[in-house]
Structure 1
Amino acid sequence: MASTSEILTAERILAATEEVLRRHGPAKATVVDVARALGVSHGSVYRHFRTKAALREAVTKRWLDRTSQKLAVIAAASERDPEARLRDWLAALFEAKRHKAGDDPELFATYTVLTDENGGVVGEHIAELTAQLTGIITQGAGSGTFSVPDPAAAARAVFQATGRFHDPCYAREWTRPGVGEEFTAVVDLLVRGLR
């Protein structure tokens, strides 16, 4: 059982779930495995997450939120030039996705399965990212850096146009020689279009 110095929290459960998923994969990982890793009963886990699906959805959201939070810092730096922020934001997104795929390929594969299961969480993640892009492009349009009539539509277009550099289905290409130069060429083209 969890000691009083280590109160069972949703965050502890999610961290343990991530480790269990890394060890067993999404097909074999169970709530009992998570509870065992925490030294608690599976009922204790269910008090925080009512179903296995809810636990898997929460751990997927946590994984996606790590990227969103890093990007939010760049998006919120409104004192910076919008073009530089846009470039930095896109580069940070690409780098975050490459690190997730390259640093822990087993966990990345696990999360690829989980994101397929949790389309709503993925949709919210994409909406959050495009909202961040919209904010950057809106500020750029307001300052005259960008000339776009509809910043939200432009943000969606930029997100879609750079999909090859952040959509997990392209992960195998992210380590290919020359992919960095290809990314820069796409971003340069998009920035010229926004101007």
Structure 2
Amino acid sequence: MAATETLTAERILEATEEVLRRYGPAKATVVDVARVLGVSHGSVYRHFRTKAALREAVTERWLSRTEVALAELTGAPGRPAPEKLHSWFATLFEAKRHKAGDDPELFATYSVLIDENSDVVDRHIDVLIDQVRSIVEEGSREAEFTAADPDATARALFHATARFHDPAYAPEWRRPAIEAEFESVVGLLLRGLRP
């Protein structure tokens, strides 16, 4: 890192992802992160008080990328709710598959960090379910869906599609039939929401 470049939390998180990819979660240290940045490990600790806080922030940053992409879909005006809900689940599925396939080292790390940072993951899931609830409410207002309890409906939809976004199922996402299975499940759910 150049001496004139300011050390920021964002730069530390970028370096931490690089270190986690290189060494994995078991061997990556704050000293490794500091080395990549060209600073002392104390400088890193000024931004993140503990190694656990740093790992939690990396997990949160990684998960928030998906949340942002899905929020754009959730708030997009002018699309029917069934189409929007289908797109939302398809985008989530594709994002998770890309994370697993395009960045396997970080995905493996993410799987470890999930166990360590269940609060971060729980907040992430709550954000995602809230986005689904928003689409369900919109569909109910427009008489495109029948959902007496949009929150319970959103949770049920999210859990019914877990096979297409829960990292535990990642090995299945490469199977040739997975796209057709996704369409079958989401199609069935959407038909069940019709008035």
Tell me if both proteins adopt one fold, taking TM over 0.5 as the criterion. Answer: yes
1:78: how far off? 3.1
Q: Secondary structure at the match of 2:79?
A: coil
C-alpha separation in 2, matches of 1:79 and 1:124: 29
Whole-angstrom CA distance in 1 between matches of 2:9 and 2:105: 23
Runs (4+) of structure 1 moved beyond 2 Å?
none
Contact 1:2 1:8 in 2 (8 A): no
1:90 alignment partner in structure 2? 89
Aligned AA (2:13): L
The structural deviation recorded for 1:2 is: 4.8
* Amino acid corresponding to residue 109 of structure 1 in structure 2: A
- Contact in 2 for aligned 1:10/1:48 (Cα 8 Å): yes
Aligned to 2:29: 30
Q: TM-score, normalised by structure 1?
A: 0.98
CA contact (8 A) 1:134 1:152 kept: yes
Aligned to 1:120: 119
Other structure's SS at 1:177 match: coil
Aligned to 1:17: 16
Q: Which amino acid aligns with 1:36?
A: R
Partner deviation per Cα, 1:69-104 (whole Å, 9 max, x = no partner)? 100000011321111110000000000000000011
Tell me, what secondary structure is at the counterpart of 1:73? helix
Bigger drift between 99-108 and 53-62 goes to 99-108
- Return 5+ residue gaps in structure 1 as ranges: none
| Separation in 1, partners of 2:74, 2:86 | 11
List per-residue Cα deviations over 1:123-142 (Å, max 9, x = no partner): 00000000000000000001
Q: Distance in 2 between matches of 1:46 and 1:135?
A: 39
SS in 1 for 2:148: coil
Q: Which whole-Å CA distance do the structure 2 matches of 1:103 and 1:82 have between them?
A: 30
In the alignment, structure 1 residue 146 sits paired with structure 2 residue 156? no
Question: May I ask how many residue pairs the two structures share in their alignment?
Answer: 194
Q: Superposition pairs for residues 109-188 of structure 1, below 5 Å?
A: 109-188=108-187
**Percent identity among equivalent residues?**
66
**Which amino acid counterpart does residue 124 of structure 2 have in structure 1?**
H
Cα root mean square deviation, aligned: 0.8
Which structure 2 residue ranges, 5 or more long, are not aligned? none
Q: What displacement does 1:47 show?
A: 0.4
- Counterpart CA distance in 2 for 1:180 and 1:79 is 26
- CA distance in structure 2 between the partners assigned to 1:71 and 1:179 by the alignment: 21
* Structure 1 residue 116 displacement after superposition: 1.0
